[in-house]
Chain A
């Protein structure tokens, strides 16, 4: 049974609001799109799961509210002139998918897909996305990345590293770096650590360097489907041309795009390589004893599930296994984890357009982490790292933030 089983004859990126008509009319107002799954609630304080409803407290921000708005727009009960505020409601969503998770389990409906389809409609109708997103789209179109950086800067992080140029030399594994940690030098540690770890394990890796394209996730999530589909098709072609049999990426947004979004584009070729998130790949290398953690460093840490990695793609256990395998590591869990994880606040274009809300959501997560007694949060997503990192810096209360690879290189003794 597929996540995209509404009108399966249509691929997701072709679907329109009308395709969800039954679903949006039938919203049962059960409100589980806002709340932590009943079984897993461990305290009154952390019993909600939708960051936007949690912050603003009114229904248009929730999955249920979006279903109601979608119904009214679809039936013409109001239009954008009557309700210009809908644009804000529809974009104040991190696309964390918690609403969809719970609704699928209970009512078999799709509030996140509906919201993403609403975004696509707003873009088509010329009223979306948010003004802050427009520069991002323009940048993707002009520079193949969302950060307005020249293509020539994309591989600066890799200087002096013995990595193959996959445009020229065939490598067994293509390391798909993604835009954010390729261009943001404060995140280069993730990129470089990932490369170091793969090389340490003897993996034959290559990168596309300046020729790598944005995976398209940022534009897909904010509703510019045309740009996304065009990028995706170019990407598939380019990635297939490398002849790599495996692709590794550490960015959950890229991972979701390559594994779940690309197959939802009509008339696009399939990716020939098998795609792994880096935590999956590292987990495999540890199991094969190609990576052995030897260095012990005492740390009580908690794992933050990035939404696009965990809830969207089901990768919950691999990073936890890696952490537990590190000598000296004590992994403690927060109350809201895995399918019920609380979003960092940075996804779905929210950090770009609604920075304050993104930061408040991060602060809430950090508070939850502190309650476990952990001194560090570990994650594996450049967007989570940016958003949680900014909040931690502002709070200045001793909590530390690590990318999974930072702890791995320490444990491997290759830092």
Chain B
């Protein structure tokens, strides 16, 4: 550390603000030391954040972090922020949308002390949670009662349910259970001015917490996927569903690894699917027939999950980066594939029946199920998914690079063909970054069939080297180009329809050419002092003016493509 490098230091909160906050949470739960704010300043899955670090931009550093222990404390903190016009960002794990975007000293409200499962209502099949509760905690408690939340993201303990309310909520089992956002009964929120909002039937006197609609206009829709713009979730009640997998999960037959043998091959031999669950993998000769089979499976009404992982399985099912790269290069996993998750929820014979249905559909589409006769070594390598469609066990072995951005349009299944074609063009234009979702498979997007196939999500990701700014910039080029492609081809909005985030709100005419202006008015109502998560979902004019010119240009280009006037 002898070499002199430019320091990056944060602005601090005015002393009266700090003193007021300290008075609320106590000295133990407020931090403004330089090393603390560092840990709240860098996102992990967004290239711009990494570039700011390379460029030594101090604006990504918050001024201070506070850790409230109760709803009352959250309220008190937010009121102080309003009194002194201090921007705040609610924060759980901070993998997405964590660091400040503006130059004002910003407060992080880290909710890590609010981590209790408040209650599980077995009669009404719901669970009420504090904001720092994650899927693994909920599932562990619900399973003991013969229930579960219907789906689990691959990052079981990463995802807090309150964050998913504020962002998205994608599961492996979306085919049957729908997105997380469709599984919420109610939320309790601290609004940006410090007031409390309750949604659903819990806001009716003595009605209880069983229905997502309140008595008349309900504000749930304005809050869902709000990225913290219109308030902080301090309690959330979610729906539960029947669970037939037993009260707890068994020990894995390969035993437990240790630090000295964690990469031993034996740990890449996960077990067969959980009792009452089965996973089927199908291979197809081309993308069209894959999508055709997926469409038929959606229409058939069987199965709880239907997804196509493309080359992502190379990341997910490989124990090391070397194996990941090797498998990508060798096309080890089928380029055109999908997997189906079956359960015995209604009867012990459900899986057997549904398997016959799937076999027939796959055969009619010219596909082949992976089996002991057809590519058994591939089926073996895909075994991590057996359990991971229910709860994370083995996978999520990414490479050592980072996830800089993705194209995430939604729409009917056939749109995947357009996404695939455009992705291939983009790869030819920008050049491949390390291994991408192309991965030698040319143009295979990840496809999730959601809500019985009424719409689908297509994902193509970029993994640049985090220490190489030029590579990160190139990845960001992919992202901006992807947004333009989505707009030009009338694909569903980027970042999923359920995250209505600027500048994307200003790109799509379907919501109305001036939807973003309407959202700004709503924000003004909820947040008169513009303190809540600034620069996230809905910008003020001032925040928009601070946006990088290339992003503004890209937005206006997309508006132009859609016959809309430019925004300035």
Cβ–Cβ contact A58 & B393, under 8 A: no
In the assembled complex, which residues on chain A have CB atoms less than 8 Å from the CB atom of B8? 72, 77-78
Cβ–Cβ contact B260 & A313, under 8 A: yes
Cβ–Cβ contact A78 & B9, under 8 A: yes
Given known A-B contacts A25-B466, A68-B42, A30 and B158 have beta carbons under 8 A apart: yes
Cβ–Cβ contact B136 & A22, under 8 A: no
B248 at the interface (CB under 8 A from A): yes
B429 at the interface (CB under 8 A from A): no
In the assembled complex, which residues on chain A have CB atoms less than 8 Å from the CB atom of B34? 78, 82-83
Q: Smallest CB–CB gap between B85 and chain A, Å? A: 25
In the assembled complex, which residues on chain A have CB atoms less than 8 Å from the CB atom of B117? 44
Pick the residue among B29, B94, B140, B321 that contacts A41 (CB under 8 A).
B140
Cβ–Cβ contact A41 & B157, under 8 A: yes
A71, A86, A105, A260 pick with most chain B CB within 10 angstroms: A105
Given known A-B contacts A39-B252, A101-B259, A104-B263, A83 and B35 have beta carbons under 8 A apart: yes
In the assembled complex, which residues on chain A have CB atoms less than 8 Å from the CB atom of B39? 58-60, 64-65, 68-69
In the assembled complex, which residues on chain B have CB atoms less than 8 Å from the CB atom of A354? none
Which of the segments A106-114, A150-158, A196-204, A205-213 contacts the partner chain? A106-114
B3, B35, B257, B394 pick with most chain A CB within 10 angstroms: B35
Given known A-B contacts A21-B467, A77-B38, A78-B38, A47 and B137 have beta carbons under 8 A apart: yes
Given known A-B contacts A29-B44, A108-B321, A22 and B466 have beta carbons under 8 A apart: yes
Cβ–Cβ contact A35 & B157, under 8 A: yes
Pick the residue among A28, A64, A316 that contacts B402 (CB under 8 A).
A28
Name A's interface SS: loop
Q: Smallest CB–CB gap between B267 and chain A, Å? A: 8
In the assembled complex, which residues on chain A have CB atoms less than 8 Å from the CB atom of B136? 35-36, 38, 41, 47
Cβ–Cβ contact A107 & B40, under 8 A: no
In the assembled complex, which residues on chain B have CB atoms less than 8 Å from the CB atom of A314? 257-261
Interface size classification for chain A: 35 or more
Cβ–Cβ contact A30 & B44, under 8 A: yes
In the assembled complex, which residues on chain B have CB atoms less than 8 Å from the CB atom of A40? 249
Smallest Cβ-Cβ distance to A341: which chain B residue: B256
A42 at the interface (CB under 8 A from B): yes
Pick the residue among B4, B45, B320, B466 that contacts A76 (CB under 8 A).
B4
In the assembled complex, which residues on chain B have CB atoms less than 8 Å from the CB atom of A277? none
Pick the residue among B9, B33, B393, B402 that contacts A39 (CB under 8 A).
B393
Smallest Cβ-Cβ distance to A78: which chain B residue: B34
In the assembled complex, which residues on chain B have CB atoms less than 8 Å from the CB atom of A9? none
In the assembled complex, which residues on chain A have CB atoms less than 8 Å from the CB atom of B40? 59
In the assembled complex, which residues on chain B have CB atoms less than 8 Å from the CB atom of A35? 134, 136, 157-158
Cβ–Cβ contact A22 & B257, under 8 A: no
In the assembled complex, which residues on chain B have CB atoms less than 8 Å from the CB atom of A3? 259-260, 262
Cβ–Cβ contact B95 & A29, under 8 A: yes
A23 at the interface (CB under 8 A from B): yes
Q: Smallest CB–CB gap between A259 and chain B, Å? A: 9
A89 at the interface (CB under 8 A from B): yes
In the assembled complex, which residues on chain B have CB atoms less than 8 Å from the CB atom of A317? 255
Complex alpha-carbon distance, A22 and B135, angstroms: 30
In the assembled complex, which residues on chain A have CB atoms less than 8 Å from the CB atom of B113? 57
Chain A 77-94 per-residue mask, 1 if CB under 8 angstroms from chain B, else 0: 111001101100100000
Chain B 44-73 per-residue mask, 1 if CB under 8 angstroms from chain A, else 0: 110000100100100000000101000000
In the assembled complex, which residues on chain A have CB atoms less than 8 Å from the CB atom of B156? 38, 41
Pick the residue among B134, B256, B259 that contacts A97 (CB under 8 A).
B259
Q: Smallest CB–CB gap between A105 and chain B, Å? A: 6
Pick the residue among B6, B259, B397 that contacts A100 (CB under 8 A).
B259
In the assembled complex, which residues on chain A have CB atoms less than 8 Å from the CB atom of B134? 35, 47
Complex alpha-carbon distance, A32 and B134, angstroms: 12
Complex alpha-carbon distance, A223 and B8, angstroms: 27
Complex alpha-carbon distance, A44 and B115, angstroms: 9
Given known A-B contacts A28-B44, A29-B93, A57 and B393 have beta carbons under 8 A apart: no
In the assembled complex, which residues on chain A have CB atoms less than 8 Å from the CB atom of B400? 22-23, 26, 107-109
Chain A 345-386 per-residue mask, 1 if CB under 8 angstroms from chain B, else 0: 000000000000000000000000000000000000000000
Cβ–Cβ contact A29 & B157, under 8 A: no
Complex alpha-carbon distance, A83 and B8, angstroms: 12
Pick the residue among B112, B259, B393 that contacts A38 (CB under 8 A).
B393
Cβ–Cβ contact A77 & B258, under 8 A: no
In the assembled complex, which residues on chain B have CB atoms less than 8 Å from the CB atom of A73? 1
Given known A-B contacts A27-B44, A58-B39, A64-B39, A101 and B467 have beta carbons under 8 A apart: no
A312 at the interface (CB under 8 A from B): yes
Cβ–Cβ contact A30 & B155, under 8 A: yes
In the assembled complex, which residues on chain A have CB atoms less than 8 Å from the CB atom of B281? none
Q: Smallest CB–CB gap between A304 and chain B, Å? A: 15
Given known A-B contacts A29-B43, A100-B259, A85 and B138 have beta carbons under 8 A apart: no
Cβ–Cβ contact A31 & B95, under 8 A: yes
B392 at the interface (CB under 8 A from A): yes
A310 at the interface (CB under 8 A from B): yes
A311 at the interface (CB under 8 A from B): yes
Q: Smallest CB–CB gap between B327 and chain A, Å? A: 15
B465 at the interface (CB under 8 A from A): yes
Complex alpha-carbon distance, A76 and B54, angstroms: 11
Cβ–Cβ contact B397 & A26, under 8 A: no
Cβ–Cβ contact A38 & B157, under 8 A: yes
In the assembled complex, which residues on chain A have CB atoms less than 8 Å from the CB atom of B319? 1
Cβ–Cβ contact B262 & A105, under 8 A: yes
Given known A-B contacts A22-B465, A44-B116, A69 and B140 have beta carbons under 8 A apart: no
A403 at the interface (CB under 8 A from B): no
Given known A-B contacts A38-B391, A338-B256, A108 and B467 have beta carbons under 8 A apart: no
Given known A-B contacts A32-B157, A47-B140, A106 and B402 have beta carbons under 8 A apart: no
A339 at the interface (CB under 8 A from B): yes
Cβ–Cβ contact B257 & A105, under 8 A: yes
Smallest Cβ-Cβ distance to B98: which chain A residue: A29
B137, B139, B249 pick with most chain A CB within 10 angstroms: B137
Cβ–Cβ contact B141 & A43, under 8 A: yes
Smallest Cβ-Cβ distance to A46: which chain B residue: B140
A125 at the interface (CB under 8 A from B): yes
In the assembled complex, which residues on chain B have CB atoms less than 8 Å from the CB atom of A1? 263-264, 319-320
In the assembled complex, which residues on chain A have CB atoms less than 8 Å from the CB atom of B56? 77
Smallest Cβ-Cβ distance to A337: which chain B residue: B256
A75 at the interface (CB under 8 A from B): yes
User: Which residues, 24 to 40 on B, are CB-close (under 8 Å) to A?
Assistant: 29, 31, 33-36, 38-40
User: Which residues, 104 to 151 on B, are CB-close (under 8 Å) to A?
Assistant: 110, 112-113, 115-117, 133-141
B39, B397, B466 pick with most chain A CB within 10 angstroms: B39
Q: Smallest CB–CB gap between B8 and chain A, Å? A: 4
In the assembled complex, which residues on chain A have CB atoms less than 8 Å from the CB atom of B312? none
Given known A-B contacts A47-B134, A78-B38, A82-B9, A39 and B387 have beta carbons under 8 A apart: yes
Smallest Cβ-Cβ distance to B142: which chain A residue: A44
Complex alpha-carbon distance, A109 and B34, angstroms: 24
Q: Smallest CB–CB gap between B259 and chain A, Å? A: 5
Q: Smallest CB–CB gap between A305 and chain B, Å? A: 10
In the assembled complex, which residues on chain A have CB atoms less than 8 Å from the CB atom of B38? 60, 68-69, 72, 77-78
Interface residues of A (CB under 8 A from B): 1, 3, 5, 21-23, 25-32, 35-44, 47, 57-60, 64-65, 68-69, 71-73, 75-79, 82-83, 85-86, 89, 97, 100-101, 104-109, 121, 125, 260, 310-317, 338-340
**A-B residue pairs, 8 tightest by C-beta:** A76-B5, A314-B258, A38-B156, A29-B44, A35-B157, A1-B263, A59-B39, A44-B137
Given A32-B157, A69-B38, 17 more A-B residue pairs with CB atoms under 8 Å apart are A3-B259, A23-B400, A25-B50, A26-B402, A27-B44, A29-B94, A30-B44, A30-B158, A37-B157, A38-B135, A38-B392, A41-B136, A47-B157, A57-B113, A65-B39, A97-B259, A104-B263
Would you mind naming 25 contact pairs between A and B with Cβ atoms under 8 Å apart? A1-B320, A25-B402, A26-B401, A29-B42, A29-B43, A29-B45, A32-B157, A35-B136, A36-B136, A37-B157, A44-B133, A44-B137, A44-B140, A58-B65, A71-B53, A78-B8, A82-B34, A85-B33, A100-B259, A105-B262, A107-B396, A107-B398, A107-B400, A316-B256, A338-B256
